[in-house]
């Protein structure tokens, strides 16, 4: 938690990170004498992303942090004054200067408080929740495809939308089920486990002609004389090449020098990147020579990585070589050195790499987790549902864009076996559904009502912020990650499957449906 207090970790979510129309509307509300009127907005999306039937909602911590720090500084107010009409009253800017979110209450995704300020919150809250939820959901899909055993590493920082996009991606792909990230800042600021070894540039930077300042390495146990690792590797190279049927001149000396340098820096965590020159004729024999030289000193290599070509086929071949070398040189652990792969892995390739019998252990994914190419945006919206205690509804001619009016509560109904039946939206003033009691409901999109008798009822909304104060401690990132995995495990397979899933049902209470019907009838008049 200490790391999260790093002030720069609060990134760029500031009151002016907003669309200008929020500021022009603020002036409109203020001149209309309505700035302080009680209002309620809901943040939601209309369709689950990627053609699936579930989504993980994420971003709460960033939202809460933003709300609690919400304050327009003098420079912010001055900038707004420069883009609003020159005759805007100074009193309006005084009002902005005094704004904070102490009047704002946030159960997850419902925001209520003074009209002017809850309107101003629209864009930054959408910005904080929408991508976080999208990438958490994307990561969850990739985890479902990979299965629970494969290790998944997010390494998309360089493919993200700038620095903070990368930080968001690393944080929320971990929440969605990845095991860690390459992004050091995500480790420092958010506590995401970080991992990484070496790039091709490290390998190509060595020609083999370099003289290490100190090629001597002490045994792992700390006892015994130091050994010249580079010389020892050359001895092992002969044996490995003979075993593999290669000439000892074939493996690239620069690659080997790079491996030796890396092994000297990380004797307890030696890994090889095999594909800079040729996996079979260079990367693999060089790796084995270094790994076996380290083994003599009591160190175990911890992995190899493949970054081009047919990853699955190469992994199977590499595993075969490891098994045979383990037998040949009587080094059992060599048979199970973890194999990592990377290189533009998408959902289809991931499914292939995760198939039964695959020898791949760790999968690094960049572009396709970070950019969510199947659907690069979630389409969250933030809609006014009540103002001055009266329900509000957007009644556009496009039925997709109509909203559900009124201040609401939400519940999840479960069967006797703990299976999820459906979620219910109802007016906040209605009593909650009772376990064991029959309810009449209107499923969204259906023309007729239905009845349900839930065995269990769970409230879905939690009050997080009231009068500027946190109501309960926020979960840690690791707790949120565990909660997300638990929630996914409770979904039925029909809802959880990634292609053509059964849609999860959301239903309205009779009172909420009646309110919708009444406002629709009043309609555009």
Q: According to CB under 8 A, which residues from 142 to 171 bind its own copies?
A: 155, 157-169
User: Quick check: helix, strand or coil at residue 30?
Assistant: helix
502 half-sphere exposure, CB direction, 13 A CA radius: 11
- DSSP letter (8 states) at residue 194: B
**Which CB, 138 or 505, lies closer to its own copies?**
138
Contacting its own copies within 233-252 (CB under 8 A): 249-252
**Which CB, 308 or 466, lies closer to its own copies?**
308
Contacting its own copies within 310-329 (CB under 8 A): none
Residue 13 makes contact with its own copies by CB under 8 A: yes
**Segment near its own copies (CB under 8 A), from 236-244, 379-387, 425-433, 461-469?**
379-387
User: Quick check: helix, strand or coil at residue 211?
Assistant: coil
Question: For its own copies, which residue of 4, 34, 36, 485 counts as binding (CB under 8 A)?
Answer: 34
Which long-range contacts link 83-87 to residues 24+ away (Cβ below 8 Å)? 83/20, 83/23, 84/23, 84/24, 84/27
Contacting its own copies within 441-470 (CB under 8 A): none
Residue 132 makes contact with its own copies by CB under 8 A: yes
Contacting its own copies within 482-501 (CB under 8 A): none
Residue 473 makes contact with its own copies by CB under 8 A: no
**Segment near its own copies (CB under 8 A), from 123-131, 292-300, 488-496, 504-512?**
123-131
Question: For its own copies, which residue of 147, 205, 450, 463 counts as binding (CB under 8 A)?
Answer: 205
Question: For its own copies, which residue of 51, 147, 224, 309 counts as binding (CB under 8 A)?
Answer: 309
Residue 76 makes contact with its own copies by CB under 8 A: yes
Whole-Å CA distances, 523 to 104, 392, 397, 404, 516: 30, 11, 10, 13, 10
Smallest distance from its own copies to CB 448, Å: 28
**Which CB, 261 or 422, lies closer to its own copies?**
261
Cα pseudo-dihedral 20, 26, 31, 32, rounded to 10: 120
Residue 28 makes contact with its own copies by CB under 8 A: yes
The CA distance from 51 to 58, in Å, is 19
Question: For its own copies, which residue of 387, 470, 474, 506 counts as binding (CB under 8 A)?
Answer: 387
- DSSP letter (8 states) at residue 186: H
**Segment near its own copies (CB under 8 A), from 93-101, 264-272, 410-418, 429-437?**
264-272
Whole-Å CA distances, 356 to 80, 145, 177, 426: 59, 12, 20, 45
- Name the residue with tokens 């909203």: 403
DSSP secondary structure string for all residues of 223-263? -S--EEHHHHHHHHHHHHHHHHT--TTSS-HHHHHHHHHHH
The CA distance from 9 to 12, in Å, is 9
Question: For its own copies, which residue of 178, 262, 411, 464 counts as binding (CB under 8 A)?
Answer: 262
Please list, in sequence order, all residues whose beta carbon lies within 8 angstroms of the beta carbon of residue 94, skipping any fewer than 6 positions away: none
**Segment near its own copies (CB under 8 A), from 10-18, 44-52, 493-501, 502-510?**
10-18
Q: Are 114 and 41 in contact (CB under 8 A)?
A: no
Smallest distance from its own copies to CB 441, Å: 26
Q: Tokens for 35? A: 């700035």
Please list, in sequence order, all residues whose beta carbon lies within 8 angstroms of the beta carbon of residue 213, skipping any fewer than 6 positions away: none
Question: For its own copies, which residue of 27, 101, 421, 427 counts as binding (CB under 8 A)?
Answer: 27
Rg over alpha carbons for the chain, rounded to the nearest Å, is: 29
Question: How many residues belong to the site for its own copies (CB under 8 A)?
Answer: 130
Please list, in sequence order, all residues whose beta carbon lies within 8 angstroms of the beta carbon of residue 197, skipping any fewer than 6 positions away: 262, 269, 271, 273, 303, 305
Residue 101 makes contact with its own copies by CB under 8 A: no
Residue 480 makes contact with its own copies by CB under 8 A: no
Sign of CA dihedral 241, 245, 250, 251: negative
Smallest distance from its own copies to CB 282, Å: 5
User: Quick check: helix, strand or coil at residue 128?
Assistant: helix
Contacting its own copies within 181-200 (CB under 8 A): 182-185, 187-188, 194-200
- Name the residue with tokens 């329900």: 391
**Which CB, 131 or 504, lies closer to its own copies?**
131
Q: Tokens for 258? A: 């790079």
Smallest distance from its own copies to CB 373, Å: 5
193 half-sphere exposure, CB direction, 13 A CA radius: 12
**Which CB, 404 or 421, lies closer to its own copies?**
404
Question: For its own copies, which residue of 147, 320, 376, 475 counts as binding (CB under 8 A)?
Answer: 376
Whole-Å CA distances, 26 to 31, 82, 384: 9, 15, 14
Question: For its own copies, which residue of 291, 393, 441, 457 counts as binding (CB under 8 A)?
Answer: 393
**Segment near its own copies (CB under 8 A), from 101-109, 138-146, 388-396, 435-443?**
388-396
**Segment near its own copies (CB under 8 A), from 8-16, 447-455, 476-484, 492-500?**
8-16
**Which CB, 230 or 410, lies closer to its own copies?**
230
Binding mask 265-284 for its own copies (x = CB under 8 A): xx-xx-----xxxxx-xx--
Please list, in sequence order, all residues whose beta carbon lies within 8 angstroms of the beta carbon of residue 319, skipping any fewer than 6 positions away: 335, 339, 359
Smallest distance from its own copies to CB 52, Å: 18
**Segment near its own copies (CB under 8 A), from 120-128, 136-144, 293-301, 467-475?**
120-128
């Amino acid at each position: 938690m200490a790391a999260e207090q790093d002030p720069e970790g609060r990134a760029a979510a500031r009151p002016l990170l907003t669309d200008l129309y929020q500021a022009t509307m603020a002036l409109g509300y203020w001149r209309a004498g309505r700035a302080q009127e009680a209002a309620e907005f809901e943040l939601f999306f209309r369709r689950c992303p990627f053609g699936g039937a579930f989504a993980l909602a994420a971003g709460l911590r960033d939202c809460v942090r933003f709300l609690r720090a919400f304050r327009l500084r003098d420079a912010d107010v001055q900038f707004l004054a420069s883009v609003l009409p020159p005759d805007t009253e100074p009193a309006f800017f005084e009002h902005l200067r005094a704004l904070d979110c102490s009047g704002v209450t946030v159960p997850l995704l419902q925001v209520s408080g003074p009209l002017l300020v809850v309107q101003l919150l629209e864009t930054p809250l959408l910005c904080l929740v929408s991508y976080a939820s999208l990438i958490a959901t994307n990561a969850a899909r990739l985890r479902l495809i990979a299965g629970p055993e494969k290790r998944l590493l997010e390494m998309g920082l360089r493919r993200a939308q700038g620095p903070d996009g990368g930080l968001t991606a690393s944080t929320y792909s971990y929440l969605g089920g990845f095991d860690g990230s390459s992004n050091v800042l995500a480790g420092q600021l958010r506590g995401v486990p970080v991992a990484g070894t070496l790039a091709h540039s490290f390998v190509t930077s060595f020609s083999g002609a370099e003289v290490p300042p100190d090629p001597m390495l002490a045994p792992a146990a700390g006892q015994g004389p130091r050994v010249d690792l580079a010389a020892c590797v050359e001895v092992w190279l002969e044996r490995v090449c003979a075993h593999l049927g290669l000439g000892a001149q074939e493996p690239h000396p620069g690659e080997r020098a790079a491996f030796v340098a890396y092994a000297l820096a990380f004797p307890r965590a030696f890994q090889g990147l095999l594909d800079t020159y040729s996996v079979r004729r260079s990367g693999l024999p060089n790796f084995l020579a270094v790994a076996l030289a380290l083994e003599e000193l009591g160190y175990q290599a911890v992995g190899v990585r493949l970054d081009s070509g047919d990853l699955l086929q190469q992994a199977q071949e590499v595993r075969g070589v490891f098994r045979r070398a383990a037998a040949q040189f009587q080094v059992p652990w060599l048979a199970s050195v973890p194999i990592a792969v990377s290189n533009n892995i998408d959902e289809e390739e991931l499914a292939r790499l995760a198939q039964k019998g695959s020898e791949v252990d760790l999968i690094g994914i960049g572009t396709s987790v970070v950019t969510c190419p199947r659907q690069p945006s979630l389409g969250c919206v933030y809609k006014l549902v009540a103002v001055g205690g009266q329900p509000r509804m957007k009644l556009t001619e496009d039925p997709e864009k109509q909203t559900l009016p009124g201040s609401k509560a939400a519940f999840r109904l479960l069967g006797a076996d703990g299976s999820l039946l459906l979620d219910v939206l109802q007016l906040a003033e209605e009593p909650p559904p009772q376990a064991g009691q029959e309810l009449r409901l209107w499923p969204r999109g259906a023309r007729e009502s239905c009845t349900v008798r839930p065995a269990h009822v769970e409230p879905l909304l939690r009050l997080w912020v009231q009068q500027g104060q946190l109501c309960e401690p926020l979960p840690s990132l690791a707790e949120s990650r565990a909660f997300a995995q638990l929630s996914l495990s409770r979904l039925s397979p029909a809802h959880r499957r990634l292609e053509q899933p059964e849609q999860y049902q959301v239903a309205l209470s009779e009172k909420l449906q009646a309110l919708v019907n009444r406002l629709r009838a009043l309609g555009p008049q």
